[in-house]
Amino acid sequence: MTQTSDNVTWLTQEAYDQLKAELEHLSGPARAEIVAKIEEARQEGDLKENAGYHAAREDQGKLELRIRQLTQLLQHAKVGEAPADNGVVAPGMVVTIAFDGDPDDTLTFLLGSREGISSDIDTYSPQSPLGSAVSGKKAGDDASYELPNGKKASVKILDAKPYGA
């Protein structure tokens, strides 16, 4: 679970360990595998028309980008506890809302960061319009926020529980 505040990202110990393991894999075995693929493709001849070489170089670029992202994320990470189960919406909580107070038009999402979450649940950043509107509220409270088209939307918070609870 993560919460980004300025340049600090809060992670549970589990999320931190998972991201650190991913970084170690990408920096070691995965990087070596890509380098080997590039070298193998390079030996096939003309690089201008060598699709295998260009695909391997593209994979290398994606790998290096992910390594940089993880390195930066972990450098600024603070390991903390999961949020309290007090019903107050905060990063790390699974929130259920009803649009315009309609109990049939609901959305359940994780307020946090996609990093370290191996789940199919929708995730909204605490800095997103919806995320910032519901932060600090509790079940029964109303919140409103501005949609990308400039219109206002209102929601009622139905439930807020820590992720994994």
- The predicted pLDDT at position 28 comes to 94
- The predicted pLDDT at position 152 comes to 92
The amino acid sitting at 14 is E
pLDDT in single tens digits along all 165 residues of the chain: 444 444 456 676 777 888 899 999 999 999 999 999 999 888 887 777 888 888 999 999 999 999 998 898 888 777 766 666 788 888 878 899 999 867 788 999 888 766 655 567 788 888 889 989 999 999 999 999 998 899 999 999 999 988 765
Q: What CATH number belongs to 2-79?
A: 1.10.287.180
Angle, CA of 136, 139 and 141, to the nearest 5°:
70
- The predicted pLDDT at position 2 comes to 45
DSSP state string for 69-126: HHHHHHHTEEE-PPPPSSSB--TTEEEEEEETT-TTSEEEEEES-STT--S-S-EE-T
- The predicted pLDDT at position 4 comes to 43
The amino acid sitting at 108 is T
What's this model's pTM, rounded to 2 decimal places? 0.57
Domain boundaries, the chain: 2-79, 93-162
- The predicted pLDDT at position 91 comes to 80
Phi–psi pair at 78, nearest 5 degrees: -120, 130
- The predicted pLDDT at position 163 comes to 74
Give the C-alpha separation, 76 to 68, whole Å.
Answer: 12
CATH class of 93-162: alpha beta
- The predicted pLDDT at position 117 comes to 54
